[in-house]
């Protein structure tokens, strides 16, 4: 069989059989990732949603929590009972169903090759990554595209009821209700309009029956521009869209959007359904979130995962774009085989993108590692039976405890700290403490709190402009020595370190001595990192003779002068054993707040390598990586490892 005959035979495969085959392949890929992953996407918010659902039958008030989104909690609760993996499995199934209904919508709209919508939806990077978390975007996407499908099939009653659930899965579902209302008005089905609020009205009344206010669903939402999350550019989501939609998808989507709008302008009646039920939900949601982040309202954090909620609509529009892409080749080459080949090429590029720009299997995020280490410390020292005051409930996922247990008290404001008794524990994290108006410095440097341990992320991370960490403290009698001991722990003075690498560039220099020089900026020698895309001061060290503590804790410190760029320098760390890379991270090194760019300043950070066994074959690689963004001067560089 020649190539042309093979390509033609592919086009003759039954669409239904191909659909089942695609779903089976997608499910196999996602299930493999799920089994191999030891982490989750979405950070603490995923764990918090999981915990609301996991303990909903023990704490029924969870089912009426406005932050947790009551319909999401209700539907997720049976899955969460079986564990976090089960909740992730729910998201995978809802994600694939979203792709299926995107395919059905494209088919109802008489688009060519509608199965493309299933593939595009399932492999859009931000959508696929969100499968492996516990946040609400995937369920929202499924309900939104299901509602659109039902309305296209003229099932107005069912469609209105389904759409009414959106605000109780994500509060920003209210953004889309006016869009669907336009459809009912356009098709003269005004009698169904009240049903768009049916779920909201029902849950509002249920909450009222259980002692809540009538508008309890809107509690905690800030509609003014003083949100602690900050704000950013109106175009942020546009600029970042190649990263969460993928460049091929974006090309096909923009092409399909322009083509769809042109068709709507030319033949408005025929394309009204597509415009109102596919194009408008995507555009309105996208613009609303852009505006919210620009103005800093509605508790917006400007997160990329928000866009996962509208991926099925994007997939339908991109289906038309990919078809036009393939048709262009047919017009040029006058060959059906070439057209099918172009479609296959489009398929391959779409499937490839999420694996090219995201890391699978999914591991714990940097900040989640700090919470995990805190939980391990609590369990190892038998502290999990004590009364624990906490700011971030995600730690109880690692402790496998109900965050609403009798000995677990959530700290909602600084005044609650006064209720603590001697010997009570306080688990304080920078992110949620800041959200709740608690000054971490005032607690850490208090003579009434004994700092037991500080847990750092595996690589430096910042939240609200502050270095992220988790601190475990014990309430005690006021003692002036307590503050001094706390300072030792915070600075790391209570730990012992062995030096792995040390360069002052006067008496000790790296192999690349050409870059060492002096100037008026610094009379002593320093290392100059030029504006080139390469790695510098790469060192390889063995740890088996040093007896490091577990997990491996590296401390990196140096002085830096940034000459020509606002872009931060990158640092990398790798763990290699028998030519196999066990660990690899690259990150931007943030400069101190209010640092003068015309002066030298000190930089120090901690790196933690988890689950790395120290053997004679293990090699730790560290160094700087400049991506040709600027010129940097480095002095007094040191890498140390914590030892027993």
pTM of the shown model: 0.89
| Tokens coding 334 | 């006058």
So where are the chain's domains?
A: 3-357, 366-490, 497-643
**Contact status, residue 450 vs residue 477, Cβ threshold 8 Å:** no
What's residue 49's pLDDT?
A: 95
How confident is the model over 43-59, as a mean pLDDT? Answer: 93
Rounded to an integer, the average pLDDT of 300-321 is 90
Greater confidence (640 vs 324) lies with 640
Is a pLDDT exceeding 90 seen at residue 482? no
Confidence of residue 1 (pLDDT cuts 50, 70, 90): very low
Q: Say how far apart CA 137 and CA 156 lie, in whole Å.
A: 24
Sheet with 533-542, edge to edge strand ranges:
533-542, 618-627, 570-577, 580-588
pLDDT band for 248, please (50, 70, 90 cuts). Answer: confident
- Look-up: residue for tokens 């039976």? 385
Q: What is the DSSP string of 604-638?
A: EEEEEETT----TTEEEEEEEEEESS--EEEEEEE
**429: Cβ contacts below 8 Å, ≥ 6 apart:** 370, 371, 391, 392, 468, 469, 470, 471
pLDDT band at 564 (very low <50, low <70, confident <90, very high): low
In the predicted model, is pLDDT for residue 72 greater than 90?
yes
β-strand pairing of 618-627 with 570-577: antiparallel
> pLDDT at position 429, please?
93
CA 165 to CA 515: how far, in whole Å? 62
Comparing C-alpha atoms, which of 103, 185, 181, 173 is closest to residue 139?
173
DSSP state of 511: S
Q: What is the mean pLDDT of residues 16-23?
A: 90
> What pLDDT sits at residue 264?
75
pLDDT at residue number 79: 96
Asked if the model's pLDDT at residue 225 lies above 70, the reply is: no
The conformation of residue 360, written as its DSSP 8-state character, comes to: S
Those residues with Cβ within 8 angstroms of residue 188's Cβ, 6 or more apart along the chain or in another chain: none
Average pLDDT over residues 43-47: 90
Give the 3-state secondary structure percentages of the chain, helix then strand then coil, rounded to 5. Answer: 50, 20, 30
- The CATH homologous superfamily for domain 497-643 is Galactose-binding domain-like (2.60.120.260)
The pLDDT value given to residue 359 = 85
Using alpha carbons only, how large is the chain's radius of gyration in Å? 28
Extract the tokens encoding 508.
């000790």
More confident residue, 231 or 99: 99
Residue with tokens 């610094």: 522
Which of 13-22, 230-239, 422-431 is most confident?
Answer: 422-431
Q: How confident is the model at residue 2 (pLDDT cuts 50, 70, 90)?
A: low
Mean pLDDT of 293-297: 86
Checking DSSP bridges between strand 632-643 and strand 466-467, what pairing results, if any? unpaired
Residue, of 53 and 589, whose pLDDT is higher: 53
Gap between the Cα atoms of 426 and 222, Å rounded: 28
Average pLDDT in the chain:
87
How many CB atoms within 10 Å of residue 262?
11
If one compares 562 and 349, the residue with the highest pLDDT of the two is 349
Residues 68, 357: Cα–Cα separation, whole Å: 30
Task: Give the single-character DSSP code of 459.
Answer: S
13 Cβ contact list (under 8 Å, min separation 6) = none
Please state the rounded mean pLDDT for residues 13-41. Answer: 91
- Res. 332: pLDDT tops 90: no
Element containing residue 490 per DSSP (H, E): helix 480-491
- Kindly state the percentage of the chain with pLDDT values over 70: 91
């Amino acid at each position: 069989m020649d190539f042309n005959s093979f390509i033609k035979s592919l086009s003759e495969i039954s669409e239904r059989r191909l659909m089942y085959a695609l779903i089976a392949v997608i499910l196999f890929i996602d299930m493999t990732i799920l089994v191999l992953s030891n982490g989750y996407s979405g950070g603490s918010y995923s764990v918090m949603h999981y915990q609301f659902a996991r303990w909903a039958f023990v704490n029924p008030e969870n089912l009426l929590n406005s932050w947790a989104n009551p319909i999401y909690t209700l539907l997720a609760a049976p899955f969460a009972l079986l564990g976090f993996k089960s909740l992730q499995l729910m998201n995978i199934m809802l994600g694939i169903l979203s792709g299926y209904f995107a395919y059905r919508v494209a088919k109802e709209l008489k688009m060519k090759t509608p199965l493309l919508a299933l593939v595009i939806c399932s492999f859009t990077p931000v959508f696929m990554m969100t499968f492996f978390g516990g946040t609400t975007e995937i369920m929202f996407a499924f309900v939104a595209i299901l509602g659109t499908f039902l309305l296209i099939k003229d099932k107005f009653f069912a469609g209105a009821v389904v759409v009414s659930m959106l605000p109780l899965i994500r509060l920003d579902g209210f953004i889309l209700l006016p869009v669907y209302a336009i459809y009912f008005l356009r098709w003269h089905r005004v009698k169904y309009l009240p049903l768009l609020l049916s779920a909201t009205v029902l849950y509002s009344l249920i909450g009222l029956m259980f002692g809540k206010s009538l508008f309890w669903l809107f509690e905690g939402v800030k509609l003014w521009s003083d949100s602690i999350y900050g704000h950013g550019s109106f175009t942020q989501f546009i600029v970042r869209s190649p990263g969460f939609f993928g460049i091929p998808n974006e090309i096909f989507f923009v092409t399909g959007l322009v083509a769809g709008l042109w068709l709507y302008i030319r033949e408005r009646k025929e394309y009204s359904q597509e415009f109102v039920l596919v194009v408008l939900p995507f555009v309105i949601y996208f613009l609303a979130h852009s505006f919210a982040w620009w103005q800093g309202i509605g508790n917006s954090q400007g997160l990329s995962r928000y866009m996962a909620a509208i991926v099925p609509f994007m997939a339908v529009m991109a289906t038309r774009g990919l078809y036009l892409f393939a048709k262009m080749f047919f017009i040029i080459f006058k060959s059906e085989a070439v057209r099918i080949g172009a479609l296959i090429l489009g398929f391959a590029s779409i499937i490839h993108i999420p694996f090219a720009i995201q890391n699978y299997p999914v591991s714990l995020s940097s900040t989640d590692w700090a919470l995990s280490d805190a939980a391990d410390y609590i369990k190892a020292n038998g502290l999990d039976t004590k009364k624990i005051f906490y700011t971030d409930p995600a730690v109880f996922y690692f402790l496998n405890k109900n965050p609403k247990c009798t000995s677990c008290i959530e700290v909602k404001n600084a005044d609650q700290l006064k209720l603590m008794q001697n010997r009570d524990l306080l688990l304080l994290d920078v992110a949620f403490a800041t959200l709740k108006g608690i000054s971490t410095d005032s607690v850490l440097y208090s003579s009434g709190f004994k700092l037991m341990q500080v847990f750092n992320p595996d690589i430096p991370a910042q939240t609200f402009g502050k270095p992220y960490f988790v601190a475990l403290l014990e309430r005690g009698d006021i003692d002036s020595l307590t503050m001094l001991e706390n300072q030792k722990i915070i600075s790391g003075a209570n730990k012992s370190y062995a030096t792995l690498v040390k360069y002052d560039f006067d008496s000790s220099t790296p192999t690349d001595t050409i870059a060492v020089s002096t100037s008026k900026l610094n009379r002593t020698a320093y290392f100059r990192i030029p504006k080139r895309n390469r790695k510098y001061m790469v060192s390889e060290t063995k740890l088996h003779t040093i007896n490091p503590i577990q997990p491996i804790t590296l401390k990196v410190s140096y002085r830096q002068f940034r000459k020509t760029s606002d872009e931060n320098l990158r640092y990398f760390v790798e763990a290699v054993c028998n030519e196999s890379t066990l660990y690899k991270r690259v990150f931007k090194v943030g400069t101190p707040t209010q640092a003068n760019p015309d002066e030298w300043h000190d930089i120090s950070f901690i790196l933690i390598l988890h689950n790395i066994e120290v053997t004679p074959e293990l090699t730790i690689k560290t160094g700087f990586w400049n991506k040709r963004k600027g010129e940097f001067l480095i002095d007094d560089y040191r890498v140390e490892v914590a030892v027993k």
